[in-house]
Amino acid sequence: MNLFRNIALAAVACAAAHATAAAPAAAKAAPKAKDAKPSGGGTALVQEMCDKLQLMHISKTAPDDNISRRAWTNILDACDSQHMLFDPSDIKEFLKRETSLDDAFKAGDFSFAEMARKTSDRRLAERTAFATSYLASAKFVFKGARSYPARDYDSRWPATSAERDSLWKLRLESEVLDEYIADEKAGVAKAAAKVAARYADNLRHRLKHAPEADSARKRFMLAIASAYDAHTIYMPPKALKSFEQEMSVSLCGIGASWEPTDDGAAIKRIVPGGPLAKDGRVHTGDTIVSVSRAADGVFERVADKQEDDAIGMFRGEKGTKITLEVRHADGKREMITLVRDIIPLKEQAASSRTVEIDVAGRKMKAGYLRLPLFYESQGKNGEKGSSCAADLRAELLKLRDDGVCGVLFDLRDNTGGSLGDAVRTISLFVRNGPAVRMVDRHGEVALPVPDDSVVCEVPVVVLTSRGSASAGELVPGTLQDLGRAVVVGEEHTFGKGTAQAVVQFDGDKSGALVVTEGRFYRVTGASTQFRGVESDIVLPSSAGVNELLGGEGKLRYPLPWNKIGSVPFNPSWDLGRFVPALRAASAARVASGGKWEDQKRLVRWAEESAFAKSKSLDLGRRKAQIERQRAVDKERERIGEKGFDPDARDCDIVLDEGLNILADLVRLNGGRKLPAAKPVPVDTSGGLFGGLDDDD
C-alpha cells in the first residue's frame, strides 16, 4: 500500500479513518508561521518548514542524512508502492542521491522527486506494453500450488530484470483469476482482455493528467516531513482544506470512510444516513475504482489521484450528482449514481442508555456510555461550542438519576481528539490526582484532574480495541492506573502516545505542517507510545477484525516506547484487585463455545487474510480465500454501518461479555461506590450485597 496515501489519509480523514490514528487527533493549536510565502520556487517555504521542524519536533533536529534516507524511501514508495515498477538499474541510479536529499531540499532543489515521477511514468508505459503482450499470449491454467507473493513497500525491489518480469507474470495471472472468478461464464480470454484494458486505461489517464507545477515541491515536502515520525506530515492546501472540513459539524459527500489501494478506494465504513447508506448497493470491502463528476460522463481513476485530489472527487455541493465505478468484493463491477448530501456527524457525539444486567440473580440497571471521539469545538457568532466532556457529564448524570449500579464505557475505535476534554473526562470518574503527563521541548507538563468534578461513583468497565488511540487510550490507561476501572478488549490499544501541533503557513497556497512536538505518559511514567494500553481481560474482539493491521508498530518510522520517572499518586479505588476473578469467570464463558467459536474463527480468518504472504493461483483455493474474506467484510460492515448497539447484544458479543464482566464486578465489589477521598481498605461485611466476597 502506498505509504504517502496512508500518511495523507491520516491527516485529512475523520476519526473513523485508518489505523494510523489520525495524526492531528490530539493536536493543539499553534501560531501561524510568519514570512513563509513561497518565493524562488518555494525555497522560503521550505526554509520555514526546516526551521519549524528543528524548533518544534520532539527530536529537535534539522533534516540530516538519516532524514534523507527516509525521505528517499518515501519518494520512491509513493511512485512504486509494491516495488515492482522500477527496474534494478533505476534503483542503482537513485541510490546515488540517498543521503543528499536533505541538502537538496534546503537548497530548493526538488529534482529528485520529479526524476522519480518521470521514471515511474516511463516504467509504467513499459510495464503496460509488457502486460498487453503477455495477457494476449499466455495460457492460464488455474491449478496447482503456485501463488503470487504479497507485495508492499516493505518488499525488496527485484534484483534483476528477469526477476521483475517473473513477478509481473504472477501478478497478471492473479488479476486474471480475480476477473475470471467474478464472471466464469465469460471465460478466461475475456478476463485477460479486461485486465489488459484496465492497464491501458490506467496509463492513458496517468499520462493525460499533467501534475501541478509545484507538485515536485509538495511531494518532497511531504517526504521530508513524514521521515521524522509516523504522524509528522506536510499538508498541501487542498489537504488542509479537507482537514478543516473534517473538523466541522458536517460534510457534503457520499458518506464513507475509505483507505487508498493501488486500484482505488477500498470502503472501510459506510456512514449511517449518508448517500451510500441510503442507496444500499455499496458495502464494506467494495472498491471505488473510478469516479465521474462531470456532465460529460468522463471517468477519472481514483488510484491516479493524489490523496487530497481523490478526497475532492467525492465531495461537492449538496444536490450534485456523482457516478461511481464500483468493484464489489466478489469481483463484479457496477456503475452507481448518487446525489451528494450533507452527512451529519451526530454519531460522533457522546450517548448513553440503561441496560438490564443480572447481578447475582438480581435484575439491575447498568449504564452504557459510548464515545467515538474526544471532540471539542469553538462556537461561532457568540454561540457555545461543543465539548465531549460536557456531553459525557450530562449523560452520566442521567444514568445516575436512573440509579445504575455500574457503567460500561465503550471507547472502542475512539481515535482520540481533544486532550483537554480527555482530562476533563477522567475527572468525571476520579476525585483527584494526576491524570496525564506530557514531555515536549519545554520539559514536562502535568495535567491534573480538576477538583469536584465526579459524577460517576459506581464501578466502571472500559471497552477498548486496536482502534482506540491517543486520548482514546490515555483515558482507559489512567482509569486503570488509578484503580478506577477494569479495561476489557484486545491485547492492547493502538499505541499512539504523541501530541501534534498544526502550524498553518501564511498564504492560501502554502498549506500546513503537522508536527509531533510531545509525548504522553501515564501516571506510572510509562508511555502509551508503541505498546498502547494492555487490557486487564483480553477478548477476541470483532472490532479487531476491522483494525487488525492497526497499531503504531505497523506504521513507518514510529517513535519507540520509553518510560520516565513515576510521580507519587494514590489510587482512587482498588477495583483492579478483582481482575483475577473477573478474568477467570470471563474465560469460562468464552470457552463455552457457541458464538465465541464463530468469533474466534472469524478473527483467525481475518488474521490469515491480513498477514497472508501470498495469493493462491489455484481456482479452488482462491475461491476459499474469497469466501473467508467475504465473511470478514460482512463483520466489518456490521461494525461500520450498525456500530456498537447494546440493544443488539446478540450481534456484538464483546459488548455482551463486557456487560457480563460489569455484572461480576458489581457483585464482587458488593455494590459499593467510589470512596469519598483517598481509597480506604475494602470492607466486605456490608454494602448492598451483604456477605458477598470475591469467590461468590
pLDDT of residue 238: 75
pLDDT of residue 9: 27
What architecture is domain 346-669?
Alpha-Beta Complex (3.90)
Measured CA to CA, the distance from residue 554 to residue 542 in angstroms comes to 19
Its pTM stands at: 0.82
Q: What are phi and psi of 587, to 5 degrees?
A: -60, -35
Alpha carbon separation from 187 to 109, 134, 181, 184 (Å, rounded)? 51, 17, 9, 5
Instruction: Give, as one character, the DSSP assignment of residue 149.
Output: E
pLDDT of residue 383: 64
Measured CA to CA, the distance from residue 649 to residue 631 in angstroms comes to 19
On the question of a common fold for 250-344 and 346-669, the answer reads no
Q: Which residues of the chain have pLDDT under 70?
A: 1-41, 242-251, 262, 294-296, 304, 306-308, 343-347, 378-384, 507-508, 542-550, 639-644, 677-696
pLDDT of residue 300: 83
Residue 57 grid coordinates: 519536533
Helix 188-208 to helix 111-137 angle (10° resolution) is 160
pLDDT of residue 16: 27
Measured CA to CA, the distance from residue 123 to residue 100 in angstroms comes to 24
Q: Residues 211-254: pLDDT tens digits?
A: 887 889 999 999 999 999 999 999 988 777 766 655 443 457 88
Instruction: Give, as one character, the DSSP assignment of residue 639.
Output: I
Residue 15 grid coordinates: 476519526
Report whether 439 contacts 564 (CB < 8 A): yes
CATH superfamily to which 250-344 belongs: PDZ domain (2.30.42.10)
Cell 534516507 belongs to 69
pLDDT of residue 240: 77
Cell 471521539 belongs to 373
Domain ranges (residues) in the chain: 60-227, 250-344, 346-669
pLDDT of residue 17: 28
Measured CA to CA, the distance from residue 402 to residue 365 in angstroms comes to 8
Cβ neighbours for 148, distance < 8 A, ≥ 6 positions apart? 170, 171, 173, 174, 614, 615, 617
Characterize 48-82 residue by residue with b for buried, 16 or more Cβ atoms within 10 angstroms of its Cβ, and e for exposed. bbbebbeebbbeeeebeeebbebbbbbbbbbbbbb
